[in-house]
Amino acid sequence: MNECIVFQHDSVPDRLADLGLTEKTLLEAISIAHGYAARCTENHPRIYPGLVMWAETLKALRDALRPLAWHRQDVGTYERVLNEAGTIGIAVASGTEGVGVAFLTPSNRSPKGRNTFKAVQINCTLDLFPDLPAVEHNHEKPDSETWVLLHYFDAKSGERRVELSRPRHIEKDGRINDWFERIILSSLKFDGDFDETASPDLPDVDFDVERKNL
């Protein structure tokens, strides 16, 4: 596979500006979500903190980017925030310990469904044929490249590592294992006890709903 492009430190602001984003916006969304998740107790369901991280990060991103004409997009349970032109979409996911570490390859902690598979396939098509005209489906926005805002909490250091990365390949088990680009953001440091080891996020669940004939 081709080498992944990794952006760090001084190169991050310019690369994010290319996408119409800032590091502050992305990190504030993660920080807001962490605040909600940290309020969970042992009496909450074990998956709940991860679900809160996913939902509140996405909500905070949508709130912050709305003045810039970004808007929400949901296909079933697959949720993103999309730029005005419909060319860039951002999903949110918890990741493995490689998140935010340039010499490691991160993956998503929870298996993803068919919508993520389709998003990765579109990324590959757009990379191979960048000059192809955008394709609209059922009068919706054209196909867009998908980026994933990955986060990982290191309980030992109290640090949450974050990166915005564009996936290139996803395994049959629903885990992304290769990336076109990784934009490694600053880490966030939090005080207090917080355990996210047993709380994966649960977006992009595949299920079909059919009307029952009476």
Residue 208 has pLDDT above 70, yes or no: no
Residue 85 has pLDDT above 50, yes or no: yes
Q: Is residue 200 part of a domain?
A: no
Q: Is residue 182 part of a domain?
A: yes
Q: Is residue 208 part of a domain?
A: no
Range of the domain at 94: 5-189
pTM value is: 0.87
Single out the residue of 117, 126, 164 nearest to residue 145, CA to CA: 126
Q: Is residue 91 part of a domain?
A: yes
pLDDT interval class at 131 (50, 70, 90): low
Residue 168 has pLDDT above 90, yes or no: yes
Q: Is residue 199 part of a domain?
A: no
Q: Is residue 137 part of a domain?
A: yes
- Helices 23-37 and 48-65: angle between axes, nearest 10 degrees: 150
User: pLDDT tens-digit profile of 140-162?
Assistant: 445 899 999 999 999 888 899 99
SS3 41: coil
Burial 61-97 (b: 16+ CB within 10 A, else e): bbebbeeeebeebeeeebbbbbbeebbbbbbbbbbee
Q: Is residue 196 part of a domain?
A: no
- Our count of domains for the chain comes to 1
pLDDT value of residue 75: 82
Q: Is residue 175 part of a domain?
A: yes
User: pLDDT tens-digit profile of 88-104?
Assistant: 999 999 999 999 999 99
